[in-house]
Amino acid sequence: MEQEMKRPCLEKGTVVYELHGNLYLNITNRCTLRCRHCPKFNKTWSVQDYNLRLASEPDVMQLLELIGDPRQYNQIVFCGMGEPTKRLDSVLSLSRALKHQGGKVRLNTDGLANLIHGRDVTKELSECVDEVSISMNAQNSEVYLQHCRPKMAYSYEYMLEFARKLSSRMDAVTLTAVDGLEGVDIGQCQKMADAMRVNFRPRSLGVVG
């Protein structure tokens, strides 16, 4: 069970931030990867002038207060300077509440939730999240290790299996990879996504969202 930090954390622009008609939720700075291209590993915590370094992790009630009516946004997106599923209970609880209020929810994730929690969580996610974007980041484990530097063994394989299991439960699953990173073959990543019958989207280096 995750541990909630209790210090107040209500900074708009740090906990929640607006881009592209969406509202993004930065709920943790903890992560399972140490990606070389991540801003925080390049000594900056800013994304398009938003400082995403958290003083503490906001709880679900604080987040609901900051979000307000979710219907005013195209999507509410879990995406910040950490891996949202490190706080899986909060992601599930908040997503259920937002869906009840008529909001649309997207999860941007590294796809390692099953590995983190030691069980298959795809059913729970599929029941309360509308769309999931998974950072595939490479066409093979060697290139993945080079750029993502995972903390846990077999992360690449677990990420792909997570995508397969989730796509059997919901249609809106997208794999992504950053175009411009050394050794990353975007065309091969697209072919792998096609073979898995999931969507694929190339991302631009330095562009978040």
For the chain, domains (ranges, CATH) are 16-204 (3.20.20.70)
d(CA 115, CA 119): 7
SS3 135: strand
- Residues 116 and 86 sit within 8 Å (Cβ to Cβ): yes
Choice among 9-23, 75-89, 99-113, 194-208 with the minimum mean pLDDT = 9-23
**What are 34-88's pLDDT values in tens digits?**
998 887 776 676 677 778 889 899 999 999 999 999 999 999 999 988 999 999 9
Per-residue pLDDT at 123 exceeds 60 = yes
d(CA 157, CA 111): 10
**What are 93-122's pLDDT values in tens digits?**
999 999 999 999 999 999 999 999 999 999
pTM: 0.90
